[in-house]
Structure 1
Amino acid sequence: MTEPICHKDGIPIFSFAGFSNSGKTTLMCKIVSALKDKGYRVATVKHDGHDFSMDQQGKDTWKHREAGADVVAITSASKVAIIDYRAYEREKQLLQVLSYIENVDIILVEGFKNVPMPKIFVVREQQQLEQMDKIPMIEGVATDFLLEQQRLPVYDINNVQAMAEYIIKRCNLA
């Protein structure tokens, strides 16, 4: 088994994986809110299976990229954004993003299902369960249908508190 991906400063990482339209984003947002309500500082990372765009044509950061910049950063009084255009394999891409994150208690990741890190697998269709053996480090399943498999903890997708408590214990945040 491959070693789990880690943050350089030891910040715990926990992931939510699943197929498109399974409810990963909705669930992760609820988990973020639950952790924030408990006083934790939370960072999130999302994998986009498409080619997202943060630059708007004609804006200064877009012009920097058009001029050939490999990395473009923009700052304001309240925000920092870094767009790294260099090509990375998926795991190295995640490690690069993680290297920018600091001063948080936990990092929640959405997607990157094949990258080894502890994760809850979000399932909405029975046939998606057939893919579980191919995905590393699944520690629980979140679903909205009756699931008889007992190998892993199964959470009702709406039982956010139970999943948040599991993550707090799993990541030694308590």
Structure 2
Amino acid sequence: MKIYGVTGWKNAGKTGLMERLVTEITGRGISVSTVKHAHHTFDVDHPGKDSHRHRVAGATEVLLASRNRFALMHELRDAEEPPLHVLLGKLSPVDLVLVEGYKRDRHPKIEAYRAVTGHDLIAPGDKTIRALASDTPLELDRPVFDLNDSPAIADFILTEVGL
């Protein structure tokens, strides 16, 4: 599996870019999975549902399955957060895994940037950021794409990973 990241500060447009890239790349017949890092507690389960009740009762893992999908929830129960490479090993094989977040990991990335956020660019201090997707023109030592030019960004990523 090839791995490529989308990174950037909060409200920089990462999730929208990820969504557009998944649509663009899968539309080309390439299989894609995604990994999204969250800095906060999240829940994919709902209080009162059987699976939630199993988890609250103390189950380490709860696998919820139907004819349309399955979800495996794993409670860390005070264990360390698994590193990205361990999480990637849990995915079924696909052509490309797009990773949202994981700024500090060493996989190649594109930085999403929106000037309105007021944040500094991450790219100047991080050579794992191979290009930028920006809503404003920038002068950098690497390619800069329009944040909404999904076909061009997809072309760049697919070339980078050899797909």
Fold shared, TM-score > 0.5 on shorter chain: yes
Partner of 1:147: 138
Q: 1:132: which partner in 2?
A: 123
Structure 2 residue 49 is the aligned partner of structure 1 residue 59: yes
Contact 2:109–2:129 (CA under 8 A) maintained in structure 1: yes
User: What is the aligned partner in structure 1 of residue 91 from structure 2?
Assistant: 101
- Percent identity over the alignment is 36
Tell whether the 8 Å contact from 1:45 to 1:108 is kept in structure 2 after alignment.
yes
Residue 23 of structure 2: aligned partner: 33
Gaps in structure 2 of 5+ consecutive residues: none
Alpha-carbon distance in 1 for matches of 2:53, 2:8: 36
Paired amino acid for 2:6: F
Unaligned runs of at least 5 residues, structure 1:
1-10
Runs of 4+ in 1 over 6 A off after TM superposition: none
d(CA) in 2 for partners of 1:46, 1:105: 17
Q: Which TM-score applies when normalising by structure 2? A: 0.90
Report the secondary structure of 1:139's partner residue.
Answer: strand
1:44 and 2:38 equivalent? no
3-state SS, counterpart of residue 120 of structure 1: strand
Which residue of the other structure, out of 55, 60, 66, is the alignment partner of 1:70?
Answer: 60
1:103 CA drift (Å) = 3.1
**1:109 CA drift (Å):** 0.8
* 1:13/1:109 contact within 8 Å kept: yes
Q: Secondary structure at the match of 1:165?
A: helix
Deviation, 1:127, is 4.2
Give the secondary structure class of the aligned counterpart of 2:148: coil
Task: Specify the alignment match of 1:4 in structure 2.
Answer: none
Between the aligned partners of 1:136 and 1:66, the Cα distance in structure 2 is 43
Contact 2:110/2:133, CA 8 A, preserved across alignment: yes
Q: Deviations over 1:33-60 (max 9, x none)?
A: 1101110111011111221111111111
Kindly indicate whether the alpha-carbon contact (under 8 Å) linking 2:9 and 2:119 is maintained by their aligned counterparts in 1.
no
Deviations, residues 111-163 of structure 1 (Å, cap 9, x unaligned): 1111111100111136421x3345461100110111112x1111111111111
Alignment TM-score, normalising by the size of structure 1: 0.84
